[in-house]
Amino acid sequence: MITATGVMNDEAVYRRYSEELTRYATGLVGPFDAPDVVTDACLKAFAARSWPGVVDRRAYLYKTVLTVANDHHRRTLSRRLREMKVAGRDHLPDPAASIDLEVLDAVERLSVQQRAAVFLTYWEDLTPDDVGARMGVSAGTVKRHLARARKRLGELLS
């Protein structure tokens, strides 16, 4: 869906990037809340006054997802995990059936920024400069997040 000026409209942008944004959000807040984070982020981006002038919309959406994930709160995943362990997976709706608790326990140890740095580095294979551009921080900050993330994951990865 391309407009007369050659710019994709919001719905086309959404359809193009929603899948990878959902994966990214899963890396930030876990699978339960990822769809809500993506929806909120897209609404926020599309409503922004600067949105029509944004050249790299993909990068903009990544930053917005990270911002919303921050607001969403890093402890939500911890709470979800607690609820899940108490209730048992049989009593939770999808995607609980496919939940890998060991992985979520590991991710829960990290801050949202650390999760973003790890996801973009090790899943998207981006350089620290590119990760920094996606996150809106310097490459040095990215390296710092990665170092701390590796330290926090140390026991699991040793």
**By the criterion CB under 8 A, which residues form the site for another protein?**
11, 14-15, 18-19, 21-23, 26-27, 30-31, 34-36, 38-40, 42-44, 46-47, 66-68, 70-76, 78-79, 94-95, 98-100, 103-104, 106-107, 111-113, 118-119, 122-123, 135-138, 140-141, 144-145, 147, 150, 153, 156-157
- Distance, CA of 145 to CA of 114 (rounded, Å): 5
Q: Token pair of 149, please? A: 């993330």
Containing H/E element for 36? helix 34-47
Task: Classify residue 45 by burial, with Cβ atoms within 10 Å: 0-12, 13-18, 19+.
Answer: buried
For the CA atoms of 46, 50, 56, 59, the dihedral, rounded to the nearest 10 degrees, stands at -70
Q: Do residues 119 and 69 touch, judged by C-beta distance below 8 A?
A: no
Report the residue number, 85 or 150, with the smaller CB distance to another protein.
150
Report the residue number, 44 or 57, with the smaller CB distance to another protein.
44
* Distance of closest approach, residue 58 Cβ to another protein, in angstroms: 14
* Distance of closest approach, residue 141 Cβ to another protein, in angstroms: 5
Q: Do residues 79 and 39 touch, judged by C-beta distance below 8 A?
A: no
* Distance of closest approach, residue 157 Cβ to another protein, in angstroms: 5
Report the residue number, 90 or 94, with the smaller CB distance to another protein.
94
Report the residue number, 3 or 98, with the smaller CB distance to another protein.
98
